[in-house]
Amino acid sequence: MMFNSNRVRTTEKIENQFNIVRTILAIAIALGIAFLLIMTVSETPLADFWTLLSGPLENRNSMITIISKAIPLLFTAIAISLVYSAGQFNIGAEGAFFAGSVAATAVAILPNIPTIIYIPLSLLAGAVVGAIVMGIPAVLYTRYNSVTIVTSLMMNYVALYAGLYVILNPLRDQAAGFEGSYAFQATAKLPSVFTNRLHIGLFIAILVVMFAYFLLNKTTFGYRILAVGNNPKFANYSGIKVNKNIILVTLLAGLIAGLGGSVEVLGNYNRFMYTDFTNHGWDGMMISVLCRNNPKYIIVGALFIAYLQTSADTLNFTSSIPPEVINVVQAIIIIFVAANEFLKRWEHKKIVENSQKSLAIGEIN
Amino acid sequence: MNSYLEKIEQLPIGNEILSMKNITKIYSNGFVANENVNFSLNKGEIHGLVGENGAGKTTLMKVLFGIEEPEEGHIELANETVKIENPLNALEYGVGMVHQHFMLVESLTVAENMALGHEPTKFIKFDKAKAIENVRYVEKKYGLAVNPEAKVRDLSVGYKQRVEILKMLLHGARILLLDEPTALLTPQETEELFKQLINLKNEGYSIVFISHKLNEVKAICDRVTVLRNGKSITTVNIGEVNETDISNLMVGKEMDLNIIKQSAKPGDTVLKVRNLFDYNDFGQQVLKDVSFDLRAGEILGVAAIEGNGQSELAENLVGIRTIKEGQIHVKNELINNLTIREIRDLNVSIVHEDRMNTSASLNQSVRENLISDRYDTKEYSNRGILDTTKVNSLALDLIKEYGVKTHNEKASVRTLSGGNIQKVVAAREFSSFPDLLVVSQPTRGIDVGAADLIRRKIIQLRDDIKTAIILFSADLTELISLSDSLIVLYEGELVAYFPDSLVVDEFILGEYMLGIKKQTDEERRGVIYDV
C-alpha cells in the first residue's frame, strides 16, 4: 500500500531539514562565540569580525587560496567518509596523508625515470603507502578485534616518525640549509591549471569525490559498505563478508588519503618540507562529520573549512587576533553538529505536528 | 500510604478505578502510536487489551506507567486527574507494570532486584536482611512462592515473571499492567500464572492483560478493549464475544484464523542433519547428537522452550554459527565449511528470529532491505554496478505483493511497525523461491493480519515450489497447525518426533518440552528417512 505523500512531509524529510538547521545553527553559535573572543582581544572587534566573515571574498587571491586549501581536504574527507560509512572509526587519514606525501617524494626525487610515468608512479607510491598505513588497523581489528580508533591513532605517529626519519636521513638534501628532502624532478611536479597557484590535483580531487559518491550509491561494493556500516549482523546474515569488506574499504580510503598527500606535495612544493602533521587528516574528519559522511556535501564542506582557515590567515595579517580563534569556531561547530539531542524537542514537536496533519487528512501511519 | 492509595483502597469493587481519556502519543519518528484512545478499568477486574502489533497497546501502557509522555489527553485515577511523570511516580499512584522483556538485573538476587528503587538502608548501607524480610512478607501475603536469595540468572522464565509481579506488589501496586505475560511461558506455567492473577483479582486488584493469544484473553478476562491502528475501537464484556469476534474487531474485517492446508506430499531429502553437537561460549553443551531429515514439500516444526538449543540449531543450519561436530547436508552437499553466501547460493532462505538486529537493517531503506540477498546477482547488477531500475521495480512489486505499509520504497525500515518489518523480511526471503527455508519465529509479536499473510505464504512455498521448510516457533498453536511433522528439543537433545502434527496438542508437546517425557530411540529414529 503506497500513500500519497505530497501533502504531508515524510518524517525523514523533517529529520533531514533538522540536520541542516542544526548545522546552520551550530555555525551561527560558533561565530557568536568567536565574536565574544574577538571582543576580548581586539580594539576594533566589529571590523575584525567582519574580516573574519568576509575577508577571503575581498580579493581574487584569497579565493584561489581557498580552493587551494580545499584540495587536500577533499581527499582526506572522502577517505574518512568511506571508512565511517562502513562503521569503522579509523582516524588514520592523517598518517596516511603524511606517509603518502613521503612516498611520493621518494619517487619524485629519483633521477632517470621516463618522463611520462614520473607523476603516475609518484602518485601511485603515495597511494599504496597510504593504504598500508590505514589498512593495518583494519587488519588488526578483523584479525584480533583490536580497537580501531586506538590503533589508527597510534599508526598516525608511526607514519609521522617513520616518514620524518626517511626524509631526514636517506632523502635529506644537506645542501638545502634546512630540514627538507632533495628537490623534486621538474617532470614529477603536477602541472598548473588556471593560475600557477592551482594544479591538476584539483581535478583529481573532484574525480575522487564523484567516484566515492558513485561507489556508495550505485555499486554492489557500495551496497556492501553501507550494509556493513549500518548493521554488520544483517550484512553477515545476508551473506556479505563483513571483515573482507571492512579491509577493502579501509584500503581504498587509505589509497585516497595517500593520494591526497602525494598530490599536495607534488602540486605545491619543490621539495618535501613538512616537519610535523599537516592536520589535513583531522580537518578531513571534521568535514566528514559535518557532511554526515555523504560525499554529496563534501565539496561544500571542504570549501567552508578552507574559507574559515583563509580568513584566519587574513585576520592574522591585519589584526592582533590569533588564528587559533578559528580552531575554536571549528570545534564548536563540530560539537553542536555531533550532538544528536541538540534541538531534539523542537524536532519532536515538528514531527508530531506533521503526523497530526496527516491524521487530519486521513492518511494512516 | 498516600491519599490516592487510600482512595483506591476504599473504592468499592466494580467501580471505575482508572480512566484514560483521548490519549494521543506520537513518537519522534512520526509514528502515531495512539490516537484519541479511551480506556477504562474497574476495580477488581482483569481487563484484556488486544490489537494487532503496532496497534498501540504497549504505548498506551507506557503512557500509564509514566514512561511515555502523551501529546494529548489525560488520566483519571479514582475520578481525579493525575499527571504521571515517571515509573516511580506511577507506583506512588499504585500503578505497576510488568514488561514483556523483564527488567531484572540478572546477576543480583531476587531480594536485591525487588528492592531496587526503594532500597531499605541501615545508616548508609543497603539493608539486606530487611530486603529479604520484605520479600518474605509479600510472598506470604500473596501466596507467590519465591526464594529471596536465589540469583535471578538461575531462574526460569516463569519464575522471573513471578518476581516481577511480586516486585510491583511490594512497591505498592494496586493496578497491574502485564504486557504479553504469557509470550514466553509453557502451557503449564501459563496455567499457574492465571491462578495467581485470579487470586489477585479476588483480593480487589485490577489487572490489564495485554496478549496476542485470544484464547487466553477469553479464558481469564472480564472485559476486553480492542485497539486498531492506534485507535480504541470498542470495549466489550467477554461473555458477549468469542475469539473470532475479537479477531475481527482487531483487524477490522472478517478473518479466518484457521490455517487451511492440504496434507504434504514430501519429495526427496533436502536437508540431512547427522550427529550435530554444539557448545556455547561457556563450553556448555547446547546441542546433543541431533539427527534428522527434511524433505522437499514438507514443513518440519521444532518445538522447544527458549534456551533449549533451537536458536543454535537454526544458526548451524545456515552457517551463522560454525558447525563444531557432526554433518549437515543440503541437497547432498556438505555445508560444514561453506560460508553463509555459499549456503544461500544453494537456494537457502533464512528468516532469523532476531528481526530487529539481524533479519533487517533498520536504518536502511525498505528497498535496500529487500535486495540484500540478490543485489549482486546478474539480474540486479552488471559488473559491480547496480541496475537501479530493476532494483526499484523489484522493491515496488514486493511492497505491493506483501502489502507493506510504507510511505515509499526509500523510507527507513525503522519507521515501519513490527509487522511491516517482518513483511519486508518475508518478502525478501520468500521471493527467491528457496529449496530450503529456515524460518524462526515468523509471526512473533506481529499482528494477526501480517501473521496470516506470512503463514499463507509459507504454505504456498511448500505446495507451489516444493520448498523444504524447517519452522521454529514459540507459538505452539501456530507450530502445530502449520507443520506437517514435529520434533521436540529438550536441553539440546531431540526427545520426540511426531510424523503427523495433527495427533499432538499443546499439552502433549509441553510434557516433552519440559523434559517430563522422552520417546524411545525407536520412535525418534523415525525422523531419519535417508539412511
Q: Give pLDDT tens digits for B45-103.
A: 999 999 876 688 889 999 999 999 999 999 998 888 999 999 889 998 999 999 877 88
Across the interface, whether the CB atoms of B381 and A220 are under 8 A apart is answered: yes
Is the CB of residue A283 less than 8 Å from the CB of residue A312? no
Name the grid cell of A109: 626525487
Q: How many residues does chain A have?
A: 365
Is the CB of residue A129 less than 8 Å from the CB of residue A158? no
**Which tops the pLDDT comparison, A23 or A236?**
A236
Strands (E), chain A: 192-193, 195-199
Query: Smallest CA–CA separation between A216 and chain B, in Å?
Result: 10
Residue of B nearest to A345 (CA): B28
Interface membership of B71 toward A (CB under 8 Å): yes
DSSP secondary structure of B443-469:
TTT--HHHHHHHHHHHHHIIIII--EE
pTM of the model: 0.79
Q: B386 contacts in A (CB within 8 Å)?
A: 218-220, 223
Between CA A275 and CA A254 the distance in angstroms is 21
Across the interface, whether the CB atoms of B30 and A354 are under 8 A apart is answered: yes
C-beta neighbour count of B123 within 10 angstroms: 5
Question: What pLDDT does B461 receive?
Answer: 95
Pairing of strands B285-295, B72-77: unpaired
Name the grid cell of A156: 598516525
CA angle B182, B187, B192 (to 5 degrees): 75
- Domains present along chain A, CATH in parentheses: 43-50+71-319 (1.10.3470)
Grid cell 500500500 is found at: A1
Across the interface, whether the CB atoms of A11 and B339 are under 8 A apart is answered: no
Across the interface, whether the CB atoms of A234 and B359 are under 8 A apart is answered: yes
Residue A4's pLDDT band, with cuts at 50, 70 and 90, is very low
Asked if this assembly's ipTM is beyond 0.90, the reply is no
Grid cell 563478508 is found at: A241
Interface membership of B10 toward A (CB under 8 Å): no
Burial class (CB in 10 A: 0-12, 13-18, 19+), B309: buried
Chain centroid to CA A279: how far?
Answer: 10
Q: B344 contacts in A (CB within 8 Å)?
A: 238-239
Name the grid cell of A220: 554492489
Query: Smallest CA–CA separation between B55 and chain A, in Å?
Result: 11
Tell me the residues of chain B between 485 and 524 that have a Cβ less than 8 Å away from chain A: none
CA distances (Å), origin A175, targets A178, A181, A183, B236, B381: 8, 10, 11, 97, 57
Is the CB of residue B356 less than 8 Å from the CB of residue B414? no
Residue A215's pLDDT band, with cuts at 50, 70 and 90, is very high
Grid cell 487510600 is found at: B6
Write out pLDDT tens, residues B416-466.
877 889 999 999 999 999 999 999 989 876 777 888 899 999 999 999 999
Across the interface, whether the CB atoms of A354 and B344 are under 8 A apart is answered: no
Beta bridge partners of A88: none
Residue A188, φ and ψ in degrees, nearest 5 = -90, -15
Nearest beta carbon to residue B320 from set A1, A237, A351: A237
Name the grid cell of A55: 575577508
DSSP character at residue B124: T
Q: A231 contacts in B (CB within 8 Å)?
A: 357, 361-364
Interface membership of B372 toward A (CB under 8 Å): yes
Q: B360 contacts in A (CB within 8 Å)?
A: 234
Question: What pLDDT does B295 receive?
Answer: 95
Mean pLDDT of A118-142: 95
Mean pLDDT of A33-57: 82
Residue type at B311 in one-letter notation: S
Between CA A220 and CA A50 the distance in angstroms is 48
Choosing among A223, A230, A349, which should be mutated to test the B contact, i.e. which has the most B CBs within 10 A?
A: A223
Q: A351 contacts in B (CB within 8 Å)?
A: 26, 28-30
Between CA A224 and CA A315 the distance in angstroms is 46
Half-sphere exposure (CA, 13 Å, Cβ side) for B153? 4
Nearest beta carbon to residue A351 from set B28, B358, B362: B28
Average pLDDT, chain A: 87
Name the grid cell of B524: 525418534
Query: Smallest CA–CA separation between A11 and chain B, in Å?
Result: 6
Choosing among A237, A344, A350, A359, which should be mutated to test the B contact, i.e. which has the most B CBs within 10 A?
A: A237
Residue A209, φ and ψ in degrees, nearest 5 = -65, -45
Question: What pLDDT does B253 receive?
Answer: 55
Q: A354 contacts in B (CB within 8 Å)?
A: 30
Q: Residue-wise over A315-330: b if at least 16 C-beta within 10 A, else e?
A: beeebebeeebbeebb
Name the grid cell of B126: 543497603
Residue A260, φ and ψ in degrees, nearest 5 = -60, -45
Nearest beta carbon to residue A239 from set B30, B341, B410: B341
pLDDT at B234 over 50: yes
Query: Smallest CA–CA separation between B448 and chain A, in Å?
Result: 17
Across the interface, whether the CB atoms of B341 and A240 are under 8 A apart is answered: yes
Question: Which residues on chain A place their C-beta less than 8 Å from a C-beta of chain B?
Answer: 1-3, 5, 10-12, 14, 218-221, 223, 226-227, 230-231, 233-241, 344, 347-348, 351-352, 354-356, 359, 364-365
Across the interface, whether the CB atoms of A11 and B29 are under 8 A apart is answered: yes
pLDDT at B198 over 50: yes
Tell me the longest C-alpha to C-alpha distance in chain B: 76
pLDDT at B308 over 90: no
Across the interface, whether the CB atoms of A220 and B404 are under 8 A apart is answered: no
Query: Smallest CA–CA separation between B80 and chain A, in Å?
Result: 28
Per DSSP, the three-state class of A180 is coil
Q: Domain spanning B269-527: which CATH class is it, in words?
A: alpha beta
CA angle A78, A82, A83 (to 5 degrees): 125
Cβ neighbours of residue A136 closer than 8 Å, sequence gap 6 or more: A151, A155
Mean pLDDT of A135-156: 95
A268-277, B211-220, B339-348, range with greatest mean pLDDT = B339-348
Chain centroid to CA B430: how far?
Answer: 21
Is the CB of residue A142 less than 8 Å from the CB of residue A247? yes
Query: Smallest CA–CA separation between A124 and chain B, in Å?
Result: 24
CATH 3.40.50.300 residue spans of chain B = 1-94+172-246, 269-527
CA distances (Å), origin B511, targets B156, B175, B188, B517: 16, 34, 9, 6
Question: What pLDDT does B258 receive?
Answer: 64
Chain centroid to CA B462: how far?
Answer: 24
A-B contacts (CB, under 8 Å): 120
Q: B384 contacts in A (CB within 8 Å)?
A: 219-221
Nearest beta carbon to residue B412 from set A12, A236, A240: A12
Percent of chain A with pLDDT over 70: 95
Interface membership of B383 toward A (CB under 8 Å): no
Half-sphere exposure (CA, 13 Å, Cβ side) for A363? 21
Residue of B nearest to A348 (CA): B28
Between CA B499 and CA B506 the distance in angstroms is 16
Q: Which of A115, A80, A125 is nearest to A262 (CA)?
A: A125
CATH entry 3.40.50.300 includes domain B1-94+172-246: yes
